[in-house]
């Protein structure tokens, strides 16, 4: 029997990578994990019956590094949770065993194995799965927020950030890389959530909006994240001059009512969908929850899978399309 390895730190603490504070607005309470689990037709339902058989291996899923206790947790999860494709009314395990036409089954089983090894409890495993594959989505209008990538890109990433949050500074290069790596199929939209615990965060957000008005948002963003301890009014003026902005217009836009409304709109949208810290990331409406997911480890596989699901959907739709009728031409009578 393999030795039991005790996680050195709880998963929720190990992966937490967000700036937060007591001044954050109250957020919507999270639903019970099973409330958002995938199931045929997308309706909420309880989990399947617990398996009686011993844990098995699934083709293409690496579980060799799981100790016995972890393997049992993982096997229970993949056996009790419905497959992520709503047209497959079977467990994740059966979906993989039967090689069902659901491209997300193996990634779902792999994700659960990785998170259990990181220390996820059975309850956390359900919540992780519901967060990543559940039918509930948080829809927010991109509006006129600064963006990179085509407006109709199949993967839409919205991120709320604070220019003095160190976790935001770490996340932004990884998000930018997704736009570059998967161009033109990914769009990144930046929204503002200056935390009250950071005294210079709101002036920095105002400076970014003022730079956006002159077509230099992304350059200003880079300067602000690169100089998080230098964001006084004189620093902001220096960055504006470095970007060759019209300083008179820049100063007017810093205090303009429209700038205030933009920040208030972004805050209200984030509070409505449950922001609890920055960066707050939505990918096609699903929260990239930093309690459970690492930007450095999980972001690329998440985006890649989203694109695979889009491609599979297009293939399936094409297969269902009726074939064009071929006209029958009768030979002319002699």
Question: Rg for the chain (alpha carbons), in Å?
Answer: 24
Residue 34 pLDDT grade (very low, low, confident, very high; cuts 50, 70, 90)? very low
- Asked if 193 and 280 count as a contact pair (C-beta separation under 8 A), the reply is yes
188 backbone dihedrals φ, ψ, rounded to 5°: -110, 125
What length is written for the chain?
334
- Asked if 165 and 156 count as a contact pair (C-beta separation under 8 A), the reply is no
77-136 pLDDT, tens per residue? Answer: 999 999 998 888 899 999 999 999 999 999 999 999 999 999 999 999 999 999 999 888
Rounded alpha-carbon distances, angstroms, from residue 236 to 162, 192, 224, 254, 318? 15, 17, 8, 10, 52
Per-residue confidence (pLDDT) for residue 240, from 0 to 100: 98
Residue 31 pLDDT grade (very low, low, confident, very high; cuts 50, 70, 90)? very low
pLDDT at 71 over 90: yes
280-329 pLDDT, tens per residue? Answer: 999 999 999 999 999 999 999 999 999 998 887 766 556 565 555 555 55
Per-residue confidence (pLDDT) for residue 332, from 0 to 100: 59
Per-residue confidence (pLDDT) for residue 23, from 0 to 100: 40
Per-residue confidence (pLDDT) for residue 267, from 0 to 100: 98
pLDDT at 21 over 60: no
- Asked if 109 and 93 count as a contact pair (C-beta separation under 8 A), the reply is yes
221-271 pLDDT, tens per residue? Answer: 999 999 999 999 999 999 999 999 999 999 999 999 999 999 999 999 999
Q: Rounded CA gap, 87 and 16, in Å?
A: 34
Percent of the chain topping pLDDT 70: 81
Q: Where are the beta strands (DSSP E) in 13-135?
A: none
Mean pLDDT of all residues in 213-223: 98
């Amino acid at each position: 029997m393999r030795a039991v390895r005790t996680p050195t730190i709880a998963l929720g603490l190990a992966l937490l990578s967000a700036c937060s504070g007591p001044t954050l607005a109250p957020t919507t309470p999270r639903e019970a994990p099973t409330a958002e689990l995938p199931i045929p037709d997308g309706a909420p339902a309880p989990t399947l019956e617990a398996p009686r058989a011993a844990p098995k291996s699934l083709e293409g899923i690496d579980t060799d590094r799981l100790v016995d206790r972890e393997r049992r947790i993982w096997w229970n999860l993949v056996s009790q949770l419905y497959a992520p494709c709503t047209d497959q009314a079977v467990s994740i395990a059966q979906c993989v065993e039967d090689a069902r036409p659901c491209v997300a089954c193996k990634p779902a089983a792999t994700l659960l194995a990785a998170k259990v090894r990181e220390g996820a409890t059975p309850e956390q495993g359900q919540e992780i799965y519901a967060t990543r594959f559940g039918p509930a989505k948080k829809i927010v209008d991109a509006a006129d927020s600064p963006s990179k990538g085509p407006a109709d890109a199949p993967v839409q990433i919205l991120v709320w950030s604070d220019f003095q949050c160190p976790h935001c500074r770490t996340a932004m290069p990884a998000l930018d890389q997704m736009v570059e790596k998967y161009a033109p199929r990914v769009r990144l939209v930046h929204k503002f959530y200056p935390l009250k615990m950071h005294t210079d965060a709101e002036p920095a957000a105002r400076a970014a909006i003022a730079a956006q008005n002159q077509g230099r948002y992304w350059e200003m963003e880079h300067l602000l994240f690169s100089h998080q301890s230098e964001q006084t009014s004189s620093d902001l003026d220096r960055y504006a001059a470095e970007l060759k902005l019209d300083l008179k217009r820049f100063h007017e836009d810093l205090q303009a009512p429209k700038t205030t409304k933009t920040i208030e709109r972004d805050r209200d949208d984030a509070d409505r969908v449950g922001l609890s810290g920055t960066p707050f990331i939505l990918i096609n409406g699903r929260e990239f929850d930093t309690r459970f997911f690492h930007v450095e480890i999980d972001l690329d596989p998440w985006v890649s899978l989203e694109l695979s699901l889009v491609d599979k959907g297009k293939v399936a739709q094409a297969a269902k399309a009726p074939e064009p009728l071929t006209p029958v031409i009768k030979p002319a009578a002699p």
